[in-house]
Amino acid sequence: MKVSKLRKRSASPTILDPAIIVPAIGQAFVKLDPRTLAKNPVMFVLEIVSALTTVLLIRDIFAGAHVLFQAQIVVWLWFTVLFANFAEAVAEGRGKAQADTLRATRASTVAKRLLIAGNHELYEGVAAEHLQVGDLVLCEAGDMIPGDGDIVEGIASVNEAAVTGESAPVIRESGGDRSAVTGGTTVISDRIVVRITAAVGSSFLDRMIKLVEGAERQKTPNEIALNILLVGLTIIFVFVVDSIPSFASYAGGSISVIVLVALFVTLIPTTIGALLSAIGIAGMDRLVRFNVLAMSGRAVEAAGDIDTLLLDKTGTITFGNRLAAEIIPVPGISDAEAAQAALLASEADETAEGRSIVALAKEKYAIAGETAPADARFIAFSATTRLSGIDFAGRKLRKGAVDSILKFVRDESGADIAEPAAFRAAVDRIARSGGTPLGLAEGGKLLGVIHLKDVVKPDVKERFAALRRMGIKTVMITGDNPVTAASIASEAGVDDFIAQATPEDKLRYIRGEQANGRLIAMCGDGTNDAPALAQADVGVAMQSGTQAAREAGNMVDLDSDPTKLIEIVEIGKQPLMTRGALPTFSIANDVASTSPSSRRCSWRSIRSSARSTSWACRRRRARSFRRSCSTR
Amino acid sequence: MGLSTPQSAILSAIVFNALIIIALIPLALKGVTYRAVGAAALLRRNLLIYGLGGIALPFIGIKVIDLAVTALHLA
């Protein structure tokens, strides 16, 4: 897993960037179309009011009335609608600029479609947009990969800058968790055969363009709720303002339509109505800038409401690379024997741990690089067996989680071998020190323990404490045994941990938490993570992960950095908080800004009729009554 | 509030209502600064800033716009 430094896709453009402002001004007028505006009820009402007052204004102009005041009000009403549209257009504009760069990379390419599977020489040139799901395509050095797919053959270094913005090439190979390739990326070396898995128009790049453009934006549940509140307030104020003329006429005065309109517009929550969609768009945009793609606005919002974070220990809580520190043989086995076995069992293991075991065996134990014969069968690590190793010449060498190794030894020997006391002591000592013990065995014989050192990242403890203050529970997921897990969990300060976790355990834990009404976020990259990613409320898939994982999650991290899950929650909280702060401001604002105009118009009607109205007289009488009461 | 005329008061309120949208665009796009504090503390803080600010700002804003409107003889 590539752990890159947190990096922003591009510097945040300033609000005053003319490249965004100028088109946004044009968009503000385009968005006056009632069909577009109808999605925003408050602004739609405002547009209707503006249109009606415009009609009245035109009528009054022809009637030869003095209309300077009225005209100004009408102009400012239209400005209010335009400003709201402008806010939305500015928010969208920031995404549009990015979509254009993406679109430029999706230049139409000619794909080399294989005519016969397995024959690399026989292919035909096909335009990328005519490729179909299941087609096999040959990509050689310098070729652009024509569409999303899985590598079925070969290994290549691929430049994914078009999608991730990161120009350092990554290795993609058939099989395993790194087999997915994205259309629009370029093969730098070697050749691969790719099976196309996404139809034209639904590829990762296409979806990314639609997302950053905001074309697929749907209102989040929170936004819908807030909208209902705003509509409710607007309806109430329609009735309130409608009732004023009857009060006024009862008082013997009259209030002009334009004054009523002005009162109505200051009463309805225009500010938040205008900015609501801009806040939502900006939330998505902030994630994109952070190199995370949210597949829906709903996911962004869920991220802000997360109660529980499931964090993989490796790479998130501890540094990704655990390194072998020592090899401890069981009594009766020499250091050299154990080191030799460790070397062979790790030879095909390309992980940092595997390589560190090879290096340790070669350096500390001076084992010559004996290589396994060509007919050796490598056993890859899997989350279920939690073992890896090699089979050759009748020998079966394995390394892996201690209990899995013990099970392997018992299965191989067919006897219920007792665990040697020295072995258990070594395992416990390593576990207590926060390290990871790896069992080592050959066939039915236990050979020793490899000590992998695990280092907790320096700043995680403070971050988990901050998350706890926010009411978010952190859960560490690890394949380690419970003792090791507990030691690291306490060092890192997480609230809970799942030791010896299988993909099913994760899924079960997520379901359990959700049954208690909690929202869960997790990240993952492997196909075996896919069910849990799909079940979690926020599932962040790594761009470097498999196609299955990327399909299952509702967010994709283009940097493939699991640490970012914590930031995603923080970014998710921002639109929620802004959506809380702005209505507070807006409603307080409406209360305050209404008072000058409403006081003025009530004064007008009262003043014009003070001498004759019973309403004003009654108030005066009431006041004198109170005065007389207090003197009495 | 000592606004000059009823008409200028109404016009100022409408103008303020429109301009505040523009003024708040940066806040909407940038988002409220995130702080890792509890929900209650956050609510108190936001109510203080945005609630009181929301009440105080229109008085100042409308007064200023009213002065401008009067000076320009718009109402």
pLDDT tens digit sequence for A334-359: 888 888 888 888 887 777 778 888 88
Looking at residue A417, what DSSP letter applies?
P
Nearest alpha carbon to residue A544 among A520, A565, A524, A515: A524
pLDDT band with cut points at 50, 70 and 90 for residue B75: low
Distance from CA of A599 to the nearest CA of B (A): 9
pLDDT band with cut points at 50, 70 and 90 for residue A612: very low
Predicted pLDDT of residue A219: 72
ipTM associated with this complex? 0.90
Count chain A–chain B contacts defined by CB atoms under 8 A. 169
Predicted pLDDT of residue B2: 66
Mean pLDDT of A517-523: 89
Q: Is the pLDDT of residue A117 over 80?
A: no
Q: Confirm whether A525 is a catalytic residue.
A: no
**Is any Cβ of chain A less than 8 angstroms from the Cβ of B16?**
yes
Q: Is A480 left (phi over 0), alpha (psi -120 to 50) or beta?
A: beta
Nearest alpha carbon to residue A446 among A423, A427, A421: A423
Predicted pLDDT of residue A79: 94
Predicted pLDDT of residue A81: 93
Three-state DSSP class for A329?
Answer: strand
**H runs (alpha helix) in A204-320:** 204-213, 221-250, 257-267, 270-289, 297-304
- Dump pLDDT digits (tens) for A420-460: 888 888 888 887 776 778 899 988 888 899 988 777 777 88
Q: Identify the residue with better confidence: A65 or A535.
A: A535
Q: What is the distance between the alpha carbons of residues A365 and A368, in angstroms, rounded to a whole number?
A: 9
Query: Contact B28/A603, CB-based, under 8 Å?
Result: no
Tokens representing A248?
């006024």
Tokens representing A568?
């995603």
Predicted pLDDT of residue A76: 93
Which of A14, A92, A589, A607 to probe the B interface (max B CBs under 10 A)? Answer: A589
Q: Is the pLDDT of residue A619 over 60?
A: no
pTM, rounded to two decimals: 0.68
Helices A297-304, A270-289: crossing angle, 10 deg rounding: 90
Out of A533-547, A589-603, B61-75, least confident range: A589-603
Predicted pLDDT of residue A607: 46
| Highest-scoring range by mean pLDDT, A25-39, A211-225, A371-385 | A25-39
Distance from CA of A535 to the nearest CA of B (A): 27
Q: How far apart are the first and last CA of chain A?
A: 86
Question: In this structure, are residues A510 and A536 in contact, taking their beta carbons and an 8 Å threshold?
Answer: yes
- A402-406: Cβ within 8 A, 24+ apart: A402/A427, A402/A437, A402/A438, A402/A439, A402/A449, A402/A481, A403/A481, A403/A500, A404/A439, A405/A438, A405/A439, A405/A440, A405/A441, A405/A446, A406/A439, A406/A446
Distance from CA of A72 to the nearest CA of B (A): 8
Mean pLDDT of A32-45: 88
Three-state DSSP class for A557?
Answer: strand
Residue type, A184: G
Question: In this structure, are residues A59 and A258 in contact, taking their beta carbons and an 8 Å threshold?
Answer: no
Q: Which residues of B touch A594 (CB under 8 A)?
A: 13
Nearest alpha carbon to residue A158 among A128, A181, A135: A181
Looking at residue A116, what DSSP letter applies?
S
Q: What percent of chain A has pLDDT over 70?
A: 87
Which of B4, B29, B35 to probe the A interface (max A CBs under 10 A)? Answer: B29
Q: Identify the residue with better confidence: A50 or A219.
A: A50
Q: Which residues of B touch A285 (CB under 8 A)?
A: 29
Distance from CA of B66 to the nearest CA of A (A): 11
Q: What is the distance between the alpha carbons of residues B19 and B13, in angstroms, rounded to a whole number?
A: 10
- Dump pLDDT digits (tens) for A393-431: 788 889 988 888 888 888 888 877 778 888 888 888 887
pLDDT band with cut points at 50, 70 and 90 for residue A78: very high
Query: Contact A279/B28, CB-based, under 8 Å?
Result: yes
**Is any Cβ of chain A less than 8 angstroms from the Cβ of B57?**
yes
Nearest to A574 among B32, B37, B61 (CB): B32
Q: What percent of chain A has pLDDT over 90?
A: 7
Q: Identify the residue with better confidence: A621 or A394.
A: A394
CB-count burial class (<10 Å; 0-12, 13-18, 19+) for A415? exposed
- Dump pLDDT digits (tens) for A184-201: 888 888 888 888 888 777
pLDDT band with cut points at 50, 70 and 90 for residue A83: very high
The DSSP result for A431-453, as a single string, is: HHTT-EEEEEEETTEEEEEEEEE
Q: Is the pLDDT of residue A75 over 90?
A: yes
Nearest alpha carbon to residue A531 among A505, A496, A513, A512: A505
pLDDT band with cut points at 50, 70 and 90 for residue A9: very low
Out of A131-145, A501-515, A559-573, least confident range: A559-573
Q: Which residues of A touch B32 (CB under 8 A)?
A: 574, 577-578, 580-581
Interface of B with A in 27-56 (CB under 8 A): 27-32, 34, 36-39, 42, 46-47, 49-56
Nearest to A271 among B21, B51, B53 (CB): B21
Q: Is the pLDDT of residue A482 over 70?
A: yes
Q: Is the pLDDT of residue A210 over 80?
A: no
Question: In this structure, are residues A192 and A174 in contact, taking their beta carbons and an 8 Å threshold?
Answer: yes
Mean pLDDT of B19-44: 79
Looking at residue A314, what DSSP letter applies?
I
Q: Is the pLDDT of residue A139 over 60?
A: yes
Predicted pLDDT of residue A629: 43
pLDDT band with cut points at 50, 70 and 90 for residue A82: very high
Instruction: Give the pairing type, strands A308-312 and A520-524.
Output: parallel
Q: Which residues of B touch A603 (CB under 8 A)?
A: 6
Predicted pLDDT of residue A207: 74
Q: Identify the residue with better confidence: A177 or A570.
A: A570
pLDDT band with cut points at 50, 70 and 90 for residue B36: low
Mean pLDDT of B21-49: 79
Q: How many residues does chain B have?
A: 75
pLDDT band with cut points at 50, 70 and 90 for residue A599: low
- Average pLDDT over chain A reads 80
Tokens representing A385?
């067996």
Three-state DSSP class for A148?
Answer: coil
Q: What is the distance between the alpha carbons of residues A95 and A123, in angstroms, rounded to a whole number?
A: 39
Q: Which residues of A touch B59 (CB under 8 A)?
A: 592
Distance from CA of A259 to the nearest CA of B (A): 7
Q: What is the distance between the alpha carbons of residues A247 and A242, in angstroms, rounded to a whole number?
A: 10
Predicted pLDDT of residue A486: 85
Residue from A206, A312, A349, A525 carrying the catalytic annotation: A312
Query: Contact B21/A282, CB-based, under 8 Å?
Result: no
Which of A86, A257, A281, A578 to probe the B interface (max B CBs under 10 A)? Answer: A578
Q: Which residues pair with A544 in a beta bridge?
A: none
Query: Contact B27/A282, CB-based, under 8 Å?
Result: no
